Chains A and B, each alone.
Chain A
Amino acid sequence: MFAAQASAQTTRDFISIVGSSTVYPFATVVAETFGKTTRFKTPKVESTGTGGGFKLFCGGIGARYPDIANSSRAIKQSEIDACVANGVLEIIEVKIGYDGIAIGSSRKASRLALSRKDLFLALAKHIPDPQGGEYLIVNPHKNWKTVNPDLPDVAIEVLGPPPTSGTRDAFVELAMEDGCAQFGWIAALKKNDEQRYKSVCHTIREDGVYVEAGENDNLIVQKLEANSGALGILGFSFLDQNADKMQGAAVDSVIPTFESIADGSYPISRPLFLYVKKAHVGMIPGIAEFLHELSSEKAWGDDGYLADKGLIPMPEEERIRFAENSRQLRVNLFSDKD
């Protein structure tokens, strides 16, 4: 029995999903609903992080390897190459919606209105000399008022995720980089010296003003409650769930709300994806039906259950496009080698 069961790994009767911890709360709801409403088993969803997920996903074809990878960013070329090298040629990309990154604070404090430039100046390790000139100095700002005279006279204290977190990557790329590129000469670096550009725009200060609060967003919520002067970088769903204790700072004068993220006016938001291995459709039962459940309006629609969990839905025409594509199992990701 031991040998029979152990070699039973050549077949599998449930879907295996791996990947991003940001997509995990959404993929698990779909998996649970799918398991409850169909004759198939409930898919297994592992929270491995986006990179770790692709590593497993691209390991090869067969029941030992996962069928679906969750990702909080688009797949990288290097990951596609790794997939191709292991025989994973046909991948279906499904965008499931958007996730906003909020800059939250306690309700006891007044709501801040920040720009992305303010965020860069407050949080980067090195900033351009405020006196002018095209060189960098170590970030001297300790108070929001010195960053921008319009801001209140409050010490800068920001709680956020550590470098291993996908939320941090997204925050750095969407908020800091944009604020950074508002300095003309730094933006010009992008063409000539991309490495330097990235190190200037993506490096967060380490002098205690930015506090790494761990991967757990609930912890940030608790700390913000206790410390009303501080700001916290966290996923929008956590802000949404704790709306009685927390408020989101306006970024570029847009307050993070469900609507402002959905229509794209709130600047710090990112798309979330699912990548499906086409070769496994038919080999592992239920993949096509799972995609059908995911792309139904009752799941990812404006009033769907994913929206209840804090996922920001795509605009309708984008939803129709991805739904059609995933239902027909059309491969929409091609490697350069094809």
Chain B
Amino acid sequence: MNKRSNKCSAAERINAGLTRRRAVERLFRYTGLLALLLGLTFLCVLFFSIISKGYTAFQQTYIQLEIHFDEQKLDPSGERVYEVLSTADYGGLVKQSLRAAFPMVASRQEQRLLYDLISFGAAYQLRDRILADPALVGQTSRVWVTASDDVDMLVKGYIKRDVPEAERRLRDVQLAWLDTLETEARLSLKFNTAFFTSGDSREPELAGIWGALMGSILTLSVTLALSFPIGVATAVYLEEFAPRNRWSDLIEVNINNLAAVPSIVFGLLGLAVFINFMSFPRSASLVGGLVLTLMTLPTIIIASRAALRAVPPSIREAALGVGASKMQTVFFHVLPLALPGMLTGTIIGMAQALGETAPLLMIGMVAFIVDIPANIFEPATVLPVQIFLWVDSPERAFIERTSAAIMVLLGFLIAMNALAVILRKKLERRW
């Protein structure tokens, strides 16, 4: 009886505790889920705010003009030499065509307002067209040219029609002309190719991301080419070959500390060593890549060492047991197994390097660069710097370009990560 009641009370005790224990476990699980949901919400808000502000930048307003490529104006001699054709007055053609489209505009001031509808880049678009096909000279053709940023902002709804004229960047007459163009189907939003093919510009409608994207690719190539082999070699030596003593401890502590050094310090170092001492060209992606290499090396070394340590000792012992040398063991047995982990570390380091601006300020990469860099010695800028420069510009159309540039940066990052995931999946081995 006594025994039985004891047994009963034990089960009861457990049962009584069980509900509480399960409640705590459930609470813990929900807390985790809540944290995840909160993180996802913030991510969604971020993406929503960037995409909703920026998607319009992938379209651009164009205006169709009837351009008469007047031989008298472009190339009176008729020789079609590059020198003559490239320096001709194409701006004059645009103005002439606008005056022809709106013959009632007479006063100089009104004419200026009329010319303001078209981007100053239109003249260069006509020039490129003629240089590509000199046979067009003397002919008349309908050409879509880029509209100015104010027109673009109006068409996209960022400039409201209902605010008083004095507070609007477009006058009432300009709105009337645009309405005329629209009814004639000569005003239209088209895909903004210039955004993906040109370099920076002070005119938002002409500004493109290609220069900065190219700069980022060149800079990261230098960084990857240097930091991956050096980082892996360092990790392999420290983990597999180096004797354990006070020196290797000191080196380990220093590498861990370097990983936490603010990046601007590496920029100062780069300025002193690469530019002032070694006289590498300022603003070049070579120097940027070198500085970012210094910054990412500790990250790669630490991750690579952890990956090496995670390889089971039995692999090493088995290899040594069948008579492999130390080097053969490391290269043919340990390294292939550690490679996926090393790649993860490298991708984290490269992602950090991709978003870095502070060290680049010191070495002159925070700059206005129009020409697309063709190699690592030419002046270049990178995506995050381009975003920083655009967000600081007074023209309102740069706001959407900034968000669009952020999307390109994120896209680049996702592409980079995807590549790493694919490589890792290919190399990964389970046992």
Contacts and interface: CB of A to CB of B under 8 A. Distances in A.
A45 B367 contact: yes
Interface in A8-26: 8-9, 12, 14, 16, 18, 21, 24-25
Given A14-B379, A41-B371, A237-B394, A218 B399 contact: yes
B280 interface: yes
Given A6-B280, A25-B394, A303-B112, A243 B169 contact: yes
A260 to B, nearest CB: 15
Contacts of B375: 5
Interface stretch (B4-12, B159-167, B344-352, B405-413): B159-167
Contact of B369 (A5, A44, A217): A44
Nearest to B127: A36
B392 interface: yes
Contact of A25 (B167, B169, B202, B278): B202
B167 A241 contact: no
Interface residues of B, number: 41
Nearest to A243: B167
B124 A238 contact: no
Interface in B338-385: 361, 364, 366-371, 375, 377, 379
Contacts of B203: 32
B200 to A, nearest CB: 8
A78 interface: no
B201 interface: yes
B131 interface: no
Interface residues of A, number: 46
Contacts of B282: 16, 64
Given A6-B278, A9-B281, A218-B399, A241 B202 contact: no
A107 interface: yes
B377 A5 contact: yes
A241 B371 CA distance: 27
B202 A28 contact: yes
A212 interface: no
B114 to A, nearest CB: 14
Given A9-B281, A244-B160, A218 B394 contact: yes
Contacts of A8: 281, 377
Contacts of B87: 37
B267 to A, nearest CB: 13
B279 A29 contact: no
Interface of B: 87, 112, 120, 124, 159-160, 163, 166-169, 201-203, 275, 278-283, 286, 361, 364, 366-371, 375, 377, 379, 389, 391-396, 399
19 contacts: A6-B278, A6-B377, A9-B280, A12-B281, A14-B379, A29-B202, A41-B371, A45-B368, A47-B389, A107-B167, A215-B392, A216-B391, A218-B392, A218-B393, A238-B394, A241-B396, A243-B168, A243-B169, A244-B159
